[in-house]
Amino acid sequence: MLCLAAAVFFAWFKSPLSQPAIDGINLFSPWPLHRVVDYSDLLALCVLPLAAHIKPKAIHLQATALICLRWALGCVAFFSLCSTSVYRGFFQAHPAMEEVYFGESITVKQPAEELLQNLTAKGITYRVDSVMFYPVTNQHNLFYKIQAATDTSSAWQPVSMKQDSTLYVRREGNLFYLIPEFRTENRTLRNVRFTLSENRKKTKTTITIQMFQADGLRGYV
């Protein structure tokens, strides 16, 4: 319907029939209106059937506004982080010196729950945790700040860093299992730490033994 109306208006405007209307507009308009009567211009009407079959592209104003807002917030966040304070370094914490890193994995065709039930049936106790405490062993210039009771002065007392570390760093990570003691034919393993990872169907489980402690074995270096 819109294309038909446009065709009728264009044919009328390019014909002498539109001259009285043009003259009337020029009497009141500060900008003069002109047109040339040229019937060859009517060939442009051939594109109207094609235009009638073209579907206009919808503009989703809400989605466009959300995209612009995200980019604006991203730029603000980026420049805000760039102007933040400098990262404050922290001393490194090492695992316990007697811990032996193993890092080997095996996959069995059993769900994790069944594996844990088998451990319980064999009398092997375990616990679930996600927190580890690492001793600080690579720092020798640590001090306590002691505030004086009578004035605003303060004193510094060195931290005693012996074989058993005074300071520990608490780190929380992924879930793991810990067996306090596990006896083999030749050795007794302590604090055996391992993780369980199931596949999507929960038909297979990957057991990763991360670390343990044992007498006579070399620990962390």
Q: DSSP string of 119-143?
A: HHHTT---EEEEEEEEE--S----E
For the record, the structure tokens of 24 come out as 């009337």
For residue 63, is it within any domain? yes
At 66, is the pLDDT very low, low, confident or very high (cuts 50, 70, 90)? confident
Tell me, yes or no, whether 72 and 172 share the same domain.
no
At 94, is the pLDDT very low, low, confident or very high (cuts 50, 70, 90)? low
Average pLDDT, the chain: 80
For the record, the structure tokens of 176 come out as 């793991």
For residue 155, is it within any domain? no
Tell me, yes or no, whether 23 and 103 share the same domain.
no
Segment among 15-24, 39-48, 99-108, 149-158 with least mean pLDDT? 149-158
Tell me, yes or no, whether 76 and 110 share the same domain.
no
Decide: pTM greater than 0.75.
Answer: no
Domain endpoint, select from 82, 113, 129: 82
Tell me, yes or no, whether 73 and 20 share the same domain.
yes
Residue type, 77: A
Tell me, yes or no, whether 195 and 114 share the same domain.
yes
Q: What angle do CA 198, 199, 204 make, to 5 degrees?
A: 70
For residue 157, is it within any domain? no
For residue 93, is it within any domain? no
Q: Is the pLDDT of residue 121 over 60?
A: yes
Tell me, yes or no, whether 76 and 115 share the same domain.
no
For residue 177, is it within any domain? yes
Residue 135's CB is within 10 A of a number of other CB atoms, namely: 18
Average pLDDT over residues 133-160: 72
Question: Cα–Cα distance between 206 and 173 in angstroms, integer?
Answer: 18
Containing 7, the helix (H) or strand (E) segment is helix 2-13
Tell me, yes or no, whether 19 and 106 share the same domain.
no
Tell me, yes or no, whether 39 and 8 share the same domain.
yes
Tell me, yes or no, whether 129 and 187 share the same domain.
yes
**Parent domain of 71:** 2-82
Q: Residue 23: its pLDDT value, please?
A: 82
Q: Residue 87: its pLDDT value, please?
A: 47
For residue 43, is it within any domain? yes
Tell me, yes or no, whether 66 and 28 share the same domain.
yes
Tell me, yes or no, whether 123 and 24 share the same domain.
no
Question: Cα–Cα distance between 89 and 62 in angstroms, integer?
Answer: 44
At 127, is the pLDDT very low, low, confident or very high (cuts 50, 70, 90)? very high
What's the domain count of the chain?
Answer: 2
Q: Is the pLDDT of residue 218 over 80?
A: no
For residue 27, is it within any domain? yes
CB of 212 within 8 A of CB of 89? no
At 110, is the pLDDT very low, low, confident or very high (cuts 50, 70, 90)? very high
Tell me, yes or no, whether 105 and 174 share the same domain.
yes
For residue 118, is it within any domain? yes
Where in 34-126 does DSSP place strands (E)?
99-108
Where in the chain does DSSP place strands (E)?
99-108, 127-135, 143-147, 154-158, 168-183, 188-198, 205-213
